[in-house]
Amino acid sequence: MRIRLCLAALSLAGGAGLATVSAPTATAAACTDIDVVSARGTFEPGTLGFIVGDPVYSALQKKLTGKSLSSYRVNYPADLSLTSAAQGNADLVNHVRSQAAACPNQRFILVGYSQGANVVDNSIGISSAGAVVGSPIVATIPAALEPKVSSVLLFGNPIRALGKSVTGTYQSRTIDFCAAGDPVCENGGGDTGAHLSYRANADAAAAFAATKV
C-alpha cells in the first residue's frame, strides 16, 4: 500500500523532486534495428516509465551505438484492477507480433518494472499469477519470434517474492534486479524506498543488453 501511494504521489507530482532525464518519444511503427518495449510499474508516470523505462531507454541509446532504436510504451492500465497485468500481457505480445510481421529484421528488448515485470514475465511464458498485481498468462510471444528478443530487463519483479524467476529459453538473456529490502520482489523485505531506486540500475541494464545484441 505504501508503495502504491508513493507511486501515485509521484504520478501526481510528475516526478517532481527526483533527478530528471530527457524522456524518449515512444514510437511503434519504424523499422529500426531494435524496438525497446517497456511496461511501466503501477501508477508510474513518464513516457516509458519515469523510474525505469525512460532512464533505461536513454542508457540504451548511449550503449547501442551504431544501432537505430525505437520505443513502445505497453498500452495497459498499470493500476490495481484484477485484469491490468493481463491487458498488458496481451498488448505486449500483440505489439511484438505486429512489429515482427512489419519489420522482419527488427529485434526487441523487453523492459518491465514492478507490475510491468509481471507483464513481461507472462509474455515470455512465466506466470505471475499469485504475485503482487500479477495475473495468469493470457498470451505468449510465439516460439518462432523468440529469437528476435535479444534481452529481457526486469526490475522489482514481483514473482521473485514467490521464489520464482525467469527460467528456460529466456534465462540467459534476462537480467532481473531486486534491490535489497524491496518488499515487492524480496519476501519479507521492508524497505519501501528500495522499490523506487531502480533508476540507479539503468546503466548496468543497458550494458547487459549491449552484450546480447
Q: By the 8 A CB rule, do 209 and 202 touch?
A: no
Nearest-angstrom CA–CA distance, 177 and 174: 10
Q: Do residues 113 and 158 make contact, with C-beta atoms less than 8 angstroms apart?
A: no
DSSP 69: E
The question of whether 58 is a catalytic residue gets the answer: no
Number of Cα atoms under 13 Å in the Cβ half of residue 210: 17
Catalytic residue from among 38, 70, 114, 123: 114
Q: What's the burial of 67, exposed, middle or buried (CB within 10 Å: 0-12/13-18/19+)? A: middle
**Among 35, 58, 128, 195, the one annotated catalytic:** 195
Any catalytic annotation for residue 195?
A: yes
Whether the Cβ atoms of residue 202 and residue 58 lie closer than 8 Å to each other: yes
81 tagged catalytic? no
Instruction: Please list the active-site residues.
Output: 114, 182, 195
